[in-house]
Structure 1
Amino acid sequence: MSLLHPARTGSVVTVWLVNDVPARLVYEGQRYRVTDMPTRLEDEHPEMTHRLNLTGWRFQGTDDAGLSHMFDIRRAGGEWQLIRIYD
C-alpha cells in the first residue's frame, strides 16, 4: 500500500453518513462509494503505539470505474478533511 497525494492532505472532502457511518465521499470531484466496513480512528486506541490526536474514519472507497482507495478522514470544525489516501 502506498500513500497517494501527500500534498493534498487537509483537503476538504464531502462525506455522506448513514447511521453516523460514512457511506459516500467526494474527493477532487470524484465520487466514491464506501465498499468496506469503516473503522473509527480514535486517539485512545489501546493497540496503537503512538497517538493520532484525531477522531475520524478509515474506509475503502470505490469509484464508478471500479478504482479503489483507502481514505482516512477526520471532522474539523464543520467540515470533513482528508488525512491520508492510499492506493
Structure 2
Amino acid sequence: MPQLQEYVEIWTDDAGSPRRLVWRTRRFRVTDRPTTLVGPAEWWAPFGDHDVSPGRAPLAITGWRFQASTDDGETHVFDVADDDGRWRLLRVFD
C-alpha cells in the first residue's frame, strides 16, 4: 500500500498518545486505544550493517495507529508518523 503525502494536525495527551485529529478540514476524536508503530531507532542507523545476534536492532516509536470518528459518525483507522515536528498521514483504512 503506498504511503500518503498528506499532513494532518494532531493533539496528544501528556503521554504523547493521539487524542484528536484534523484531516481534510474534518475534526476526528480518537475512539480507541492508540497502538504504537515501531521501527529501528534512528540513532542505530550508523550501526545498521552490524550483526546484532542473537537480538535485534533497538526499536523506537515511529508513529501511531488509531481509530477516530467525527461527530456525525464518519470513522477511519489512521496511521500517522512524526515528520520533523509535523504529523504525516501514512495510511487511512475505511
Give the TM-score category using the shorter length.
0.7 to 0.9
Aligned to 2:9: 14
Aligned to 2:20: 24
RMSD across aligned positions (CA): 1.8
Paired residue total: 73
Q: TM-score, normalised by structure 1?
A: 0.77
Give, in angstroms, the shift of residue 42 of structure 1.
0.3
Question: Does residue 72 in structure 1 map to residue 79 in structure 2?
Answer: yes
Taking the aligned partners of 1:57 and 1:32, their CA distance within structure 2 comes to: 15
Structure 2 counterpart SS, 1:42: strand
Q: Output the amino acid matched with 2:11.
A: W
Mark the runs of 5 or more structure 1 residues left unpaired by the alignment. Answer: 45-53
Deviations for 1:3-59, whole angstroms, at most 9, x for unmatched residues? 8xx68x120100000121100000000000000000000015xxxxxxxxx700000
Structure 1 counterpart SS, 2:67: strand
Match of 2:31 among 35, 53, 60: 35
Q: Output the amino acid matched with 2:66.
A: F
Q: Which runs of 4+ in 1 moved over 6 A?
A: none
Mark the runs of 5 or more structure 2 residues left unpaired by the alignment. Answer: 41-60
Structure 2 counterpart SS, 1:82: strand
Q: TM-score, normalised by structure 2?
A: 0.72
